[in-house]
A and B are shown apart, each in its own frame.
Chain A
Amino acid sequence: METYLFYILAVVTVIGTILAITEKHPVHAIVYLVTSFFSLATIFYLLAAPLVAMFEVIIYAGAVMVLFMFVIMMLDLGRSDEARRPELKQWILPIILAGIILTSIGTIATGYAAAPHASGSLTIRDFAETLFRKYGVAVELVSMQLLFAVVGALYLGRKAKS
Chain B
Amino acid sequence: MIVPLAHVLVLAAVLFGLGLVCTLVWRSNVIMLLIGIEIMLNAAMLVFVGGSNHWGVADGQVFALIIMAMTSAEVSLALALVVYLHRRKNTVNVDEFRELKD
Residues 27-60 of B, flagged 1 when their CB comes within 8 A of A and 0 if not, give 1110110111011001001100110111111110
Q: Which range holds the interface residue count of chain A?
A: 35 or more
A72 to B39, CA, bound (A): 18
Within the complex, the shortest CB–CB distance from B60 to chain A, in Å, comes to: 8
Q: Out of A40, A49, A86, A118, which one reaches B57, CB within 8 Å?
A: A118
Which residue of A is nearest B24, CB measured? A94
Cβ–Cβ contact B18 & A18, under 8 A: yes
Contact in complex: A86, B64 (CB < 8 Å): no
Contact A21 B10 (CB under 8 A): no
A37, A71, A91, A148: most-surrounded residue (chain B CB, <10 A): A71
Is B36 touching A21 in the complex (CB atoms < 8 A)? yes
The answer to whether A71 touches B31 (Cβ under 8 A) is yes
Which residue of A has the minimal Cβ distance to B42? Answer: A40
How many angstroms between the C-alpha atoms of A74 and B92 in the bound complex?
13
Q: How far is the CA of A148 from the CA of B74 in the complex (A)?
A: 11
- B77/A156 in contact, CB under 8 A: yes
**Are B58 and A101 within 8 A (Cβ)?**
no
**A67 engages B32 (CB within 8 Å):** no
Bound Cα distance A109, B3 (Å): 13
Give the distance to chain B from A90, nearest Cβ to Cβ, in Å.
6
Which A residues touch B74, using CB under 8 A? Answer: 149
Q: Which residue of A lies closest to B41 (CB)?
A: A60
Q: Nearest Cβ in chain B — how far from A154, in angstroms?
A: 8
B20, closest chain A residue (CB): A98
Could you say which residues of chain A place their CB within 8 Å of the CB of B13?
A: 101-102, 105-106, 109
Q: Are A145 and B38 in contact (CB under 8 A)?
A: no
Contact of B32 with A29 in the complex, beta carbons under 8 Å: yes
List 4 tightest A-B contacts by C-beta distance, closest first.
A118-B56, A98-B17, A149-B73, A94-B24
